[in-house]
């Protein structure tokens, strides 16, 4: 018997794997490079292997036409102008996500700072609402705050990812630890699918493709890359290259041919 959660997950994943562009940066950082017109980037990349996007509710309402990929609405925000930019606050409800036609909900949770307790409460309560409505929940779980010395420490990343799963997320997005062996331990200790964040803009295309190849080899179910896709000179080609690795098990060097 198929559930609403499964139907929606099938819209944001393809054969259980994810190639997603998070485009929620407009609240935190403003109209940065590549996000001046989010709709055009979405339409440019759909049909090239993209499975889903993460956007804020106002962008969903402003789209000229429904996208052909899954849509997760992002409901936690802060701004770079704030005195506490790590303190993410809720900006919507799961009931609102249903009304918007979203296929999933996304939250950003920072672990390791003084704002952590409030965000954990948000995660738990939103997970409960998502389960009631059959709405998939993606939790962006980041080691970030005064108590975090190394955000890529495998033990820290494993703990942070596990928190997302323990609190009820269907998919956990977190940082790649830098090597296959350590990240495979993170994946094995997290009982829900893990996808990786892209972080800052990579120095080269091959760097981001190699990280993708390694993360997939470690057991990750996909990627959610923002700047490394929407700020790319040819975002649709970067999506094609990533799809080569994620869905067809290609190597980073093979995938580079999609861009070159």
Catalytically active residues are 24, 142, 173
199 is in an annotated binding site: yes
Give the span between the Cα atoms of 93 and 27, in whole angstroms.
17
> Is 143 known to sit in a ligand binding site?
yes
Half-sphere exposure of 179 (CA within 13 A, CB side): 4
Burial class (CB in 10 A: 0-12, 13-18, 19+), 159: middle
Residue 164 labelled as part of a binding site: no
Q: Is 227 annotated as a binding residue?
A: yes
Q: Would you say 226 is a known binding-site residue? A: yes
DSSP for 149-211 reads S-TT-HHHHHHHHHHHHHTT-SEEEE---SSHHHHHHHHHT-SS-EEEE--SPPSSHHHHHHH
Q: Is 207 annotated as a binding residue?
A: no
Residue 16, marked binder: no
**144 has binding-site annotation:** yes
Dihedral angle of Cα 150, 224, 251, 202, to the nearest 10 degrees: -60
State the binding site.
Answer: 24-28, 142-144, 198-199, 226-227
């Amino acid at each position: 018997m198929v559930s609403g959660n499964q139907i929606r997950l099938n819209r944001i994943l393809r054969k259980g794997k994810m190639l997603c562009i998070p485009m929620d940066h407009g609240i935190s950082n403003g109209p940065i490079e590549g996000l001046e017109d989010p709709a055009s980037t979405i339409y440019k990349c759909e049909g090239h292997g993209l499975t889903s996007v993460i956007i804020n509710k106002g962008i969903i309402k402003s789209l000229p036409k429904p996208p052909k990929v899954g849509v997760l609405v992002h409901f936690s925000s802060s701004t770079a102008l704030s005195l506490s930019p790590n303190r993410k606050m809720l900006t919507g409800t799961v009931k609102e996500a249903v009304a918007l036609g979203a296929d999933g909900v996304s939250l950003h949770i920072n672990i390791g700072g003084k704002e952590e307790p409030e965000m954990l409460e948000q995660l738990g309560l939103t997970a409960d609402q998502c389960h009631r409505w059959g709405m998939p929940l993606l939790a962006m779980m980041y080691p970030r705050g005064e108590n975090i010395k190394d955000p890529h420490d495998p033990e820290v990343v494993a703990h942070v990812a596990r928190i997302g799963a323990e609190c009820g997320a269907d998919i956990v997005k977190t940082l790649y630890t830098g090597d296959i062996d350590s990240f495979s331990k993170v994946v094995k200790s997290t009982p829900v699918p893990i996808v990786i964040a892209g972080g800052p803009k990579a120095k080269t295309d091959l760097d981001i493709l190699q990280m993708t190849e390694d993360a997939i080899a470690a057991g990750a179910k996909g990627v959610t890359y923002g700047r490394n896709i929407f700020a790319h000179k040819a975002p649709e080609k970067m999506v094609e290259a990533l799809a080569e690795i994620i869905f067809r098990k290609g190597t980073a060097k093979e995938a580079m041919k999609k861009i070159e």
